[in-house]
Chain A
Amino acid sequence: MIHRRIAYVGALGAAVLFQIFFKGYFSSFLLVLVALTPVLSLALSLPGMLLCALELSPCASMVVRGEEARFQVLLHVGARLPLARVRLTVDCLNQMTGEKEALHRDLWGGGAAFSLTADARHCGRLVCSVRKAWVCDLLGLLCLPVRTCGTAALVVLPVPVDPDEPPDFAGEEQQGATLRPRPGGGPGEDYDLRSYRPGDPMKSVHWKLSTKRDELVVREVLEPVRAQLYLSYDHFGTPEDLDRTMDRLTALSRLLLERERPHCILWADPVSGELRERLVEAERGLIGALAEDFSFPAPLTGRSALEQTLPGGRNVRRIHVTPHGLEGGEAL
């Protein structure tokens, strides 16, 4: 717009010179006209400038690393006349790796939209926000800021890879583990008898014993309590290391879920060392855990989760995922 301002100043100067040297009526008329033209332009464009707004939204809530992470910017205009030009600067930040990207774009008219592609080379949570948005009048002389509606976020998920084979959990049930009632019942060799509690299904009532005891007795199937499994990783490192770690972690987590093995994803705050854990019992839980973890910044160095004591007492297993492979897995 600087060019237009310079051009207008030049035109105004020329009109002043014309007024000085041309002694007729037209010189005054032209000077007044040149002086009033920006007023007219502002009068026509001001309603649109004041009523326009930008809306930022992701095209998808999550993408796989390496795919296109697209955000859509939509310009809403509340007036009938189109806008001259909207110039905006959009910042895209990967909250985990800290990588920032700025994109400059120009929009015209009303109802205009454009999609911008952010850098999805690394895992993380991409947050897009409009840093600066200005709308100009019809002559491009005056600019006003444009209202924007918050930020838009998108999660860049790790790439599906072949999982590393975890340690053998076979025979874990036969290692003298304690038994506990199996939620939901079901078939089983081990069971316990107890009194009926309201809500127990009728099919679990042991009718033979109930007739003998003159009270309802319920057969509760027991299952062995397996060790709490933690998948830990270090929430620091280079973006490439973090990508490899996340790839392995996600693959392993999915494998465990296939084997119906709930587990917790665990990492330590790189600065304070505070442990953060997320229970993963299904795919949705895994995605949610990743999305939440990716919103925390990951510096290049920090405190490892291995330095911290795991919760859960003695019956825990930890598999530490690194960029190069898996560590641990034995019962602790």
Chain B
Amino acid sequence: MTQSSSGARRKRGVLSAVLDGTLLFLALWGSVFSFSTAFALRVYPACLLAGCALGAVVFTAVFSLPKYRWAALLAIAAGWCWALWQLRQALVLGEISLRCSVVNACEESLGTERYIQPIAQLPDEVWQGACTVLVLAAVVPAALILGFAIVRQRSFWLTALASTPFLAVPLAFTITPAWLPLMAVLVCWGTLLLSSLTVRAGRKNWNRMRLTGLLTSALLLALLTAAMPQERYRRPAWADRANDKIVNWATELSDRHFSHMELLPGGNGGGLLRAEEQVDLAGAGPLRFSGRTVLDVRSSDLRGRIYLRGFSSAVYDGKSWGPLEDEAYQDLEEYWRRRISSSSFRYRPERGGDEEGEEPPASLEEQLNGFQPINFPALAARESAPGRKYAKISVRSVGPSSGCVYFPYHLLTTPGELSGAEFVQDSYLAPAEGVETHTLYLMPDSSPLDGFKLPEEAVPAERLYYNALVWDVYTRYPNSADLRQSLTDWVRGVIDTPEAYLEEGAENRHYQMLVQRGVNTQAEWALHMAGLIRDSLDFLAEYDPDTPAAPEGEDFTAYFLAQSRRGYCMHFASAAALLLRYTGIPARYVSGYVADIPPSGRVQVPDSAAHAWVEIYLEGYGWYPVEVTPAYAGGEPAHSGAGGEQAVPTPTPTPTPARTPPRTNTPRPTAAPQQEKVDLRPVWSGLIVLLAVGLLLLRRHLVRWLRRRRFAGADANRAAISAYRYLERLVRRGGTIPAQAQELAEKAKFSQHTLSQEERDAMTALAQREAEKLYTAASPAKRLLLRYFWALY
């Protein structure tokens, strides 16, 4: 068989060299600059550019040499080693500078912000020069590998393999390199890929194809960049859903089989929730979530948006929100005494159930005659509107427990009816050990403005003791000058200069109600004040999920109100709670999740749904949630899922767990109970099959390559004997040995003559023809065996 010229390898014209050099330059410059721009390396770009250009030219020339290539490479290697030795001091400094840049870029990307700096105090120019020297030193081996791949091997795969690490490392840290070098690499890959099958088409054809590939790749990338502007990029929803599913599966797998190795991190996502009830505000930087599912919520009664309440925090210290000490709940009577002695006290409730000489009760519920403050709104709604239906919801905690049960407003299930969980003071509901799923009952869509009032038996508990606690504890804020000043400025600003703090100015309806028309009840006052503060925050502050952490030493809320005015739900909730407290309204910070229940009635809540809002206390009603974050404007936590159908269940208790929960104030989450293992055998089997197939393919290529080498060997007699041995293997599978091949093999083996080139070619041609005949005559199954199992074709 003869083909048209395959001299693309042997002869290299000027155009070939220019194209080789261009591709090598694109790959080299693109890779190096992608890496350096991604990690913001301190280098001299012009020097680096010149280095890449020189590297491309030199290695294009070296690999284009018809002979003595190795000598040139050795000379370059020697020169490079000599240069490394001479510049070793600069290289050490360069390594430090590079390491700092890379680590800092990764830290910034991960949001951990544990930056490092070089210890040595040297001028910036020194660091820049040293880093440039280091990168230039790395350009040499990179150019050598890329030059070999592009100029010698003409291989797309080898080129991609050599240049991928420069891109993969920053991308692994979600850092996108600069666009132009990235596109340069893609143009080089595209050109090599499009021309890979035309290498054997002859030098002219191949060069034409490479040139066309280069231009069309560049054009395609330019058009795509123009058609998909980065500013308007929105991540597709299907990707988020797929991410959730995959991460959830992996997390489940990790938890079940590798929990002792802690392969996967938990999904804390920006510091919103902690198992220890502490909300760290100092470390609250840009929001990051793993996307894993944390809750599985089912309800046939609720639809639409629901606010799943987690735990509330009472104490603010400038850097965090934390729980109230347990000791603070042990003597509510003290609050009552303190209150009645205060001149601001307006009520003289009747005391009930308190006899002289008795020890003060220990738990909050005992002190409140068995009532739980979290239930107050639901109790009020049920008392005032007996015909109102309640809703049922089932919440399952997925993955590691955060230590509390999440439920929508307003919880009707009382402590006596609760099973598998326990209220922790007035803060949250803690799950019992080993219980993941909780079924709870609610009174959704309860509003204090509907005139709901607590039942008579709960009034003393609420009015006498709990009220006092609330007004004492939940109106406190730190006495720091910054915070006080910022709160004062804000509240005064809203009242005195509404046009500067409110979008509608003095026309704001809450402003109108509070300042001009007056309100009649504490509930109205609190609700309108909360609305006013929310509107002012919405007007002046900007919602930004990438808000960096507050500077060290600054009060979180003061910094937000007075300086940055930029943040997300944690900032807004924290500021609103403190502003409300400043105005004398009891308020607290609440953490939880926001989800949308679809018509199916089931929703998987990811950690990215974590949210924070505020609860204000309304006398005679209880805690009422208020949404204060602009991005969630219009959200009504108190009306969670109110769009669903109403059920008529009987108030049955939740399933009894295996053990009765201990009567501790703060039950802690424990390890998940034993569950059935995921069968990994199909996964392993699939991997083994893939590996076997890959090995078979690789073996076939290797065997064919070795066979071609043997047939083309320098010794004609050995080549002929190899061909004969190949024929013998074919005979075992049904082939034949032509008489001519037999003669030639005998001549090669036994005679003292060396076969001529024609005889050797005839022998190999006979062998190949016999293989083709055998293959053509074989059945499809036998063809597969011939190709992949016996590697004879």
Nearest residue (CB) in A for B233 is A25
- Within 8 Å CB of A25, what residues of B? 176, 228, 230, 233
A41–B193 Cα gap in the complex (Å)? 9
Q: How far is the CB of B681 from chain A (nearest CB, A)?
A: 23
Is the C-beta of A61 less than 8 angstroms from some C-beta in chain B? no
A22–B4 Cα gap in the complex (Å)? 47
Q: How far is the CB of A48 from chain B (nearest CB, A)?
A: 10
Q: Mark B217-229, 1 if CB is under 8 A from A, else 0.
A: 1001100110010
Nearest residue (CB) in B for A110 is B205
Q: Mark A12-25, 1 if CB is under 8 A from B, else 0.
A: 00000001111111
Is the C-beta of A5 less than 8 angstroms from some C-beta in chain B? no
Q: How far is the CB of B741 from chain A (nearest CB, A)?
A: 13
- The 8 Å CB contact of A136, one of B197, B201, B225, B236, is B197
A139 touching B194 by the CB < 8 A rule? yes
Is the C-beta of A114 less than 8 angstroms from some C-beta in chain B? yes
**Central interface residue in A84, A115, A136, by most chain B CB within 10 Å:** A84
Is the C-beta of A259 less than 8 angstroms from some C-beta in chain B? no
Q: Mark B534-556, 1 if CB is under 8 A from A, else 0.
A: 00000000000000000000000
B194 touching A109 by the CB < 8 A rule? no
Is the C-beta of A101 less than 8 angstroms from some C-beta in chain B? yes
A259–B13 Cα gap in the complex (Å)? 64
A44–B217 Cα gap in the complex (Å)? 11
Is the C-beta of A152 less than 8 angstroms from some C-beta in chain B? no
Q: Which positions 199-243 of chain B face chain A at CB distance < 8 Å? A: 199-202, 205-206, 208-209, 212-213, 216-217, 220-221, 224-225, 228, 230, 233, 235-236, 239, 242-243
Q: Provided the pairs A28-B228, A114-B1 are in contact, do residues A138 and B236 lie with their beta carbons within 8 angstroms?
A: no
The main secondary structure of chain B at its interface with chain A is helix
- Within 8 Å CB of B765, what residues of A? 117
- Within 8 Å CB of B2, what residues of A? 113-115
B201 touching A110 by the CB < 8 A rule? yes
Is the C-beta of A102 less than 8 angstroms from some C-beta in chain B? yes
B202 touching A82 by the CB < 8 A rule? yes
Is the C-beta of A105 less than 8 angstroms from some C-beta in chain B? yes
A37 touching B1 by the CB < 8 A rule? no
A111–B208 Cα gap in the complex (Å)? 15
- The 8 Å CB contact of A44, one of B4, B171, B212, is B212
Q: Which positions 20-48 of chain A face chain B at CB distance < 8 Å? A: 20-29, 32-33, 36-37, 40-41, 44
**Central interface residue in A82, A117, A140, by most chain B CB within 10 Å:** A82
- Within 8 Å CB of B236, what residues of A? 19, 28
Q: How far is the CB of A216 from chain B (nearest CB, A)?
A: 68
Is the C-beta of B776 less than 8 angstroms from some C-beta in chain A? yes
- The 8 Å CB contact of B201, one of A80, A82, A113, A140, is A82
Q: Mark B147-181, 1 if CB is under 8 A from A, else 0.
A: 00000000000000000000000010010100000
- Within 8 Å CB of B221, what residues of A? 33
A138 touching B197 by the CB < 8 A rule? yes
A26 touching B197 by the CB < 8 A rule? no
Residue total for B at the interface (Cβ-Cβ under 8 A): 45
Q: Which positions 122-141 of chain A face chain B at CB distance < 8 Å? A: 136, 138-140
- Within 8 Å CB of A113, what residues of B? 2-4
Is the C-beta of B427 less than 8 angstroms from some C-beta in chain A? no
Q: Mark B586-598, 1 if CB is under 8 A from A, else 0.
A: 0000000000000
B243 touching A108 by the CB < 8 A rule? no
Is the C-beta of A81 less than 8 angstroms from some C-beta in chain B? yes
A187–B200 Cα gap in the complex (Å)? 70
Q: Provided the pairs A19-B236, A28-B236 are in contact, do residues A82 and B224 lie with their beta carbons within 8 angstroms?
A: no
- The 8 Å CB contact of B209, one of A28, A36, A82, is A82
A44–B197 Cα gap in the complex (Å)? 13
Is the C-beta of B519 less than 8 angstroms from some C-beta in chain A? no
Is the C-beta of B190 less than 8 angstroms from some C-beta in chain A? yes
Q: Which positions 513-543 of chain B face chain A at CB distance < 8 Å? A: none
Is the C-beta of A83 less than 8 angstroms from some C-beta in chain B? yes
Is the C-beta of A209 less than 8 angstroms from some C-beta in chain B? no
- The 8 Å CB contact of B186, one of A19, A33, A115, is A33
Is the C-beta of A194 less than 8 angstroms from some C-beta in chain B? no
A19–B697 Cα gap in the complex (Å)? 29
A116–B176 Cα gap in the complex (Å)? 54
- The 8 Å CB contact of B176, one of A19, A26, A41, A102, is A26
**Central interface residue in A32, A33, A80, A139, by most chain B CB within 10 Å:** A33
B1 touching A116 by the CB < 8 A rule? yes
B208 touching A20 by the CB < 8 A rule? no
Nearest residue (CB) in A for B243 is A20
Is the C-beta of B198 less than 8 angstroms from some C-beta in chain A? yes
B233 touching A28 by the CB < 8 A rule? yes
- The 8 Å CB contact of A107, one of B3, B186, B776, is B3
A22–B206 Cα gap in the complex (Å)? 36
A157–B284 Cα gap in the complex (Å)? 93
Nearest residue (CB) in B for A112 is B4
A19 touching B239 by the CB < 8 A rule? yes
A26–B171 Cα gap in the complex (Å)? 9
Q: Provided the pairs A36-B220, A37-B190, A138-B194 are in contact, do residues A22 and B201 lie with their beta carbons within 8 angstroms?
A: no
A40–B218 Cα gap in the complex (Å)? 12
- The 8 Å CB contact of B239, one of A20, A81, A105, A136, is A20
A103–B776 Cα gap in the complex (Å)? 8
Q: How far is the CB of B177 from chain A (nearest CB, A)?
A: 9
A284–B340 Cα gap in the complex (Å)? 137
Is the C-beta of A320 less than 8 angstroms from some C-beta in chain B? no
Is the C-beta of A276 less than 8 angstroms from some C-beta in chain B? no
Is the C-beta of A318 less than 8 angstroms from some C-beta in chain B? no
A24–B230 Cα gap in the complex (Å)? 9
Is the C-beta of B722 less than 8 angstroms from some C-beta in chain A? no
Q: How far is the CB of B237 from chain A (nearest CB, A)?
A: 12
Is the C-beta of B773 less than 8 angstroms from some C-beta in chain A? yes
- Within 8 Å CB of B138, what residues of A? none
- Within 8 Å CB of B1, what residues of A? 105, 114-116
Q: How far is the CB of A89 from chain B (nearest CB, A)?
A: 8
B773 touching A101 by the CB < 8 A rule? yes
B208 touching A81 by the CB < 8 A rule? yes
A22 touching B194 by the CB < 8 A rule? no
Is the C-beta of B364 less than 8 angstroms from some C-beta in chain A? no
Q: Mark A129-161, 1 if CB is under 8 A from B, else 0.
A: 000000010111000000000000000000000
Is the C-beta of B503 less than 8 angstroms from some C-beta in chain A? no
Q: How far is the CB of B738 from chain A (nearest CB, A)?
A: 9
Q: Which positions 363-389 of chain B face chain A at CB distance < 8 Å? A: none
Q: How far is the CB of B793 from chain A (nearest CB, A)?
A: 10
- The 8 Å CB contact of A40, one of B176, B197, B220, is B220
- Within 8 Å CB of A105, what residues of B? 1
- The 8 Å CB contact of A82, one of B206, B217, B243, is B206
Q: How far is the CB of B246 from chain A (nearest CB, A)?
A: 7
Q: Which positions 62-91 of chain A face chain B at CB distance < 8 Å? A: 80-85
Q: How far is the CB of B484 from chain A (nearest CB, A)?
A: 40
A115–B1 Cα gap in the complex (Å)? 5
Q: Provided the pairs A19-B239, A23-B174, A29-B228 are in contact, do residues A140 and B197 lie with their beta carbons within 8 angstroms?
A: yes
Q: Which positions 753-793 of chain B face chain A at CB distance < 8 Å? A: 765, 772-773, 776
- Within 8 Å CB of B209, what residues of A? 81-82, 138
A32–B228 Cα gap in the complex (Å)? 10
A114 touching B205 by the CB < 8 A rule? no
| Besides A19-B239, A25-B230, A113-B3, 7 other A-B contacts (C-beta < 8 A) | A28-B233, A37-B193, A44-B212, A81-B205, A83-B201, A110-B205, A117-B765
Could you jot down 19 A-B contacts, CB within 8 Å?
A23-B174, A23-B235, A26-B176, A28-B233, A32-B224, A33-B224, A40-B217, A81-B209, A81-B212, A82-B209, A83-B198, A105-B1, A108-B201, A109-B198, A110-B205, A111-B4, A112-B4, A113-B4, A138-B209
Which residues on B are within 8 Å of A, measured CB to CB?
1-4, 171, 174, 176, 182, 186, 190, 193-195, 197-202, 205-206, 208-209, 212-213, 216-217, 220-221, 224-225, 228, 230, 233, 235-236, 239, 242-243, 246, 697, 765, 772-773, 776
Which residues on A are within 8 Å of B, measured CB to CB?
3, 19-29, 32-33, 36-37, 40-41, 44, 80-85, 101-105, 107-117, 136, 138-140
